[in-house]
Each structure stands twice: as structure tokens, then as C-alpha cells.
Amino acid sequence: MKKIKRLLFLSCLKATGLIEKKIQFGLSRSERIRLRIHISMCSACTNFGSQNHLIEGGLFRLNDTRKKEIDLDEFKKSIIKKLDQ
Amino acid sequence: MRNHTIESWVSQFTGDLYHRAVSMVSDPELARDLVQETFLSAIEKFSTFRGSSSPKTWLMSILNHKIVDHYRQKFRQPILPEPEMIDQFFDHNGEWMPGRQPERWHESDENLLDNEAFLSVLKICMDRLPDKWKDCINLKYILDKKSDEVCQELKITTSNFWQITHRAKLQLRACIEKNWLI
């Protein structure tokens, strides 16, 4: 019985992998169906999915606010000095 | 003539180039080097600048090549997912290990994204990831490209890419849960 279950249904390892694959590249039709069945039965992977989605959103925020200030005038001078060499 | 033009470009465009570079490599020192190299290349290639694009566009395209080169170098060694890392989370049947199943977070909606505490924990957890894993996750934002385009640029396979980000996300999620008071 366990064997059949494993053939038909995804393990949690595979399911979380597909959740990530879906975000990055999208899924094939059969992957989508198998993932949907798994998610409907597994609360841990459901939580993983929604948290993964939040983490993606957070990463987008972080990358948005990463620009840093430097002393531009000093930097420009150092470039020009390099170019003259 | 040539050096004079480039010098005026340095004073006009250094800021824009630097901001682009630092947002792409997230390392100020490296960003400075890349901008500097961009101007050095501009001097070398000055005769190929036709004036059909603006100087800023031309310089940006040189910079972009340098950035992609930087990542390509870094990814030349294949990145292999570490199989033993998976054992922390899943048993040999691929089911969650007892105690490792993701629990519900109290705040689980989009409000979390405005929560400074959440974002700073996320940042700390990101910094703990292995370097290349971090890059895989960040690159599509950094290069402002889709994941499959990132794979093409870096010459890595799509399945290698999502297997890495899958592991990175497992690690990140667990780290957030551990370090963030829910």
C-alpha cells in the first residue's frame, strides 16, 4: 500500500521541490496535478508553500532597498587618476 | 579629445553606473572596480562608439557585460546540491522529519512584507547561506531577468538551478522560524 501511495503521490521532499520549481520556471501539467493533490492532503507542505511565497516577496523588497551611498566626488577623482596612468 | 570626453563622462555618469553595479553585485568594493574597468574599456573601445546610442547607454552596456562576466566566472565550477543537507529535513522516504514540518506562522499575509523585523531576520538568514546559493536566489532580481534567462547567462541547467534554490529556501525558512518570534 505504501509503495502504491509513493508511486501515485509525491513525497514531501518532491512536493516542496516542485513548489520552488513552480516559482522559478513553472510546472508541466502532470506536475501541477500531482502537486495540487499533495498540497490538498498535507498541511506542512501547504505552510511551506505560503511561507515560500512570502520569502520571495521579502527577497524582492530587500533587493529593492540595497543601493548604498558612497563619496562620489572622491570616486570620480580616483577613476580619472587611473585613466591617466 | 578621447580622454577629455571620457573624463567628462566620468563626472556625469559615475553615480548612475555605480548604483547599477552595487545593486547587482551587492559588494561596494567590487562595484567600484567594475565601474572603473568600465571606463578603462571605454577608452580602449572609444573608436567603436558611434554616437548612435547615448554615451550613458553605451557605458551601461559595457558595465552589464562586466557584471555578467563576473557571475559567469563565479559559476564556472558546477554547484552541486549537498545531499546530506536534505537529511536534516526529510527522512529516506522523503517525508518531513519529526519536528521539522513547517508550522503555521501567525502573521502569514502580505503585511509581513512591511514588517521591518521580518525583513531584517530574512537578511541575516540570507547572509548565512553558502555564497553561490545566495547568488542563485538573488540573481533574477539583481539582473532583472527571468530564472531561465539567468540560467542561460550562467550556463547552468534549469534543474540544477531550482534544486539549489529549493535547498536554499528550506534553509531560509527554517532559519526565519528559529530566529523570529512568531
pTM of the predicted structure, to 2 decimals = 0.73
What pLDDT does residue B22 have?
Answer: 85
CA neighbor of B95 nearest in space, from A5, A45, A44, A12: A12
> Spelled out in words, what is the top-level CATH class assigned to the domain B83-179?
mainly alpha
Report the SS3 class of residue B90. Answer: strand
CA distance A76 to chain B (A): 6
φ, ψ of residue B57 to 5 degrees: the values are: -60, -40
Residue B40 pLDDT greater than 90, yes or no: yes
The full set of domain ranges for chain B reads: 2-74, 83-179
What pLDDT does residue A66 have?
Answer: 55
Cα gap A56→A20, rounded to integer Å: 10
Cα gap B106→B56, rounded to integer Å: 48
Residues in chain B: 182
* Cross-chain Cβ contact A70/B170 below 8 Å: no
HSE-CB of B134 using CA atoms within 13 angstroms: 16
Residue B132 burial (CB count, 10 A): 18
Q: Region B9-33: what's the mean pLDDT?
A: 89
Residue A21 burial (CB count, 10 A): 23
Written as nine digits, the cell of A19 is 513548489
Cα gap B76→B23, rounded to integer Å: 22
Q: Region B21-43: what's the mean pLDDT?
A: 90
pLDDT higher at B77 or B179: B179
Cα gap B109→B158, rounded to integer Å: 29
Cα gap B18→B39, rounded to integer Å: 12
Residue B1 pLDDT greater than 70, yes or no: no
Q: Region B35-42: what's the mean pLDDT?
A: 95
Q: For chain B, say whether A7 makes contact (Cβ under 8 Å).
A: no
Going residue by residue through chain A, which has 85 residues, state the pLDDT in tens, using 9 for 90 and above: 566 665 668 999 999 999 999 999 999 999 999 999 999 999 999 999 999 999 998 888 887 655 455 778 888 888 888 888 7
Q: Region B107-130: what's the mean pLDDT?
A: 83
Cα gap B171→B82, rounded to integer Å: 12
* Cross-chain Cβ contact B172/A55 below 8 Å: yes
Cα gap B56→B62, rounded to integer Å: 10
What pLDDT does residue B31 have?
Answer: 93
Distant-in-sequence, close-in-space partners of A76: CB < 8 Å, separation ≥ 6 = B10, B11, B14
Report the SS3 class of residue B96. Answer: strand
Q: Give me the architecture of the B2-74 domain, per CATH.
A: Orthogonal Bundle (1.10)
* Structure confidence at residue B60 as a pLDDT band (50, 70, 90): very high
What pLDDT does residue B47 have?
Answer: 87
ipTM: 0.75
* Closest B-chain CA to A38: B95
* Interface test mutation site (partner B, options A59, A64, A72, max chain B beta carbons within 10 A): A59
